[in-house]
Amino acid sequence: MQKNKTTMSLQSRLAFIGGGNMAEAILGGLLACGYPLSQCVVSEPLPARCEFLRSKYPGLQVLSGPQANQLAVNGSLSPSKTAALITEGSVHVNPTAASTHFTPAEVVILAVKPQVLKNVVMDLSPVLQTRQPLVISIAAGIETGAIARFMTEGTRFQPRDMPPVIRAMPNTPSLVNEGAAGLYATSDATPAQRQVAESLMAAVSKQVSWVESESLIDTVTGISGSGPAYFFLMMEAMEDAAVKLGMDRETAKALTIQTCLGAAKMAQSSSDDLKTLRVKVTSPHGTTDAAIRTFEKEGFRELVFQGVKAADMRSRSLARELGGKDPMNKL
């Protein structure tokens, strides 16, 4: 799906659990689409990050403190209870926000590190069961089944009592509104909820793709989630090669970046497949042909495959380490 800001129909109250770079990227993309700041609340544990968000988005309600996550999801429907939490130091609010009172979240975006996701979800379990928001996780490697177990662990709840979960894998170019994202939804997610998740990712992603098998989210991680670093490595190597051949680094960097950008735009706008595009710029026995033959001889394709596979498998190993369940083996 290509991003189209004129079709943004998302109207839900959003609670971001975690206010890091990716959460801010999504928030910034939504604001650029005309989404009202008053519909968002962010819970963030780091004081410095809270201060940054509060200064950059003066009207945004940024919460911190031991009970900030629960308040972000549950809403502040009782002014007296919220005031008591603030007084006792369980919650710190943004005094410059439009209001300290807000309705319960309809969508909860879990934007925390995988290592802390279990504790965060277990802590939120009662309010998730009560409020039944759509839960969207952008934590790498943690399967929807594991998140469902986190929701019910140590409680009387069953997975059927808890809200649906959608996994999203955006990538870092989302920070400049040039992201790519993969999505996977559990079977209990409704078409409307899938559309909400798609709209969220489309705010910062030029390409949003659904996968029907959850194991393919690991492949999304290996291609687009980790992929920007592969291209940075390739560009770094090209820049270094030019410097070794006598070019100054500034010029080498500028030519490399523009070449990468131009190639990507050609691929995006052309009806040709990638192989055809490569062949069209590779004259037999010419300079490009000499480089391509060298790459092929040195096993370039296999090296790329092994790298993508390693990222894919690492995502699966995170599921085992942090989710407590062996994911389906592949490759």
pLDDT digits (tens, 9 = 90+) for 100-141: 778 899 999 999 999 999 999 999 999 999 999 999 999 988
Confidence (pLDDT) at 7 = 36
DSSP one-letter code for 165: E
Confidence (pLDDT) at 27 = 92
User: How far does CA 177 lie from the centroid of its chain?
Assistant: 12
Helix spans in the chain (H): 21-32, 47-56, 68-74, 79-88, 114-131, 144-152, 191-202, 215-220, 227-244, 249-269, 274-280, 287-297, 300-323
DSSP one-letter code for 211: -
Give the residues of the chain that fall short of pLDDT 50: 1-9, 326-331
Give residue 190's domain range: 5-211
The domain total for the chain is 1
Confidence (pLDDT) at 98 = 64
Distance of alpha carbon 301 from alpha carbon 304, whole angstroms: 5
C-alpha distances out from residue 56 to 97, 156, 272, Å: 12, 41, 43
In a domain, 298, yes or no: no
Q: Hey, what are 297's tokens? A: 């001889």
Confidence (pLDDT) at 306 = 97
Confidence (pLDDT) at 155 = 86
In a domain, 189, yes or no: yes
- Helix (H/G/I), strand (E/B), else coil: 185: strand
Confidence (pLDDT) at 54 = 92
In a domain, 247, yes or no: no
Residues with Cβ within 8 Å of residue 23, at least 6 apart in sequence? 16, 42, 109, 111
In a domain, 228, yes or no: no
Confidence (pLDDT) at 216 = 95
In a domain, 313, yes or no: no
**Residue 36 is part of a domain; what is its CATH number?**
3.40.50.720
Q: Hey, what are 7's tokens? A: 């079709």
Query: What would the pLDDT profile of 2-54 be if each residue is shown by its tens digit?
Result: 433 333 445 689 999 999 999 999 999 998 888 998 899 999 999 999 999 99
In a domain, 201, yes or no: yes
Q: Hey, what are 173's tokens? A: 């170019």
Confidence (pLDDT) at 268 = 94
In a domain, 91, yes or no: yes
In a domain, 196, yes or no: yes
Are 26 and 200 in contact, with CB atoms under 8 Å apart? yes
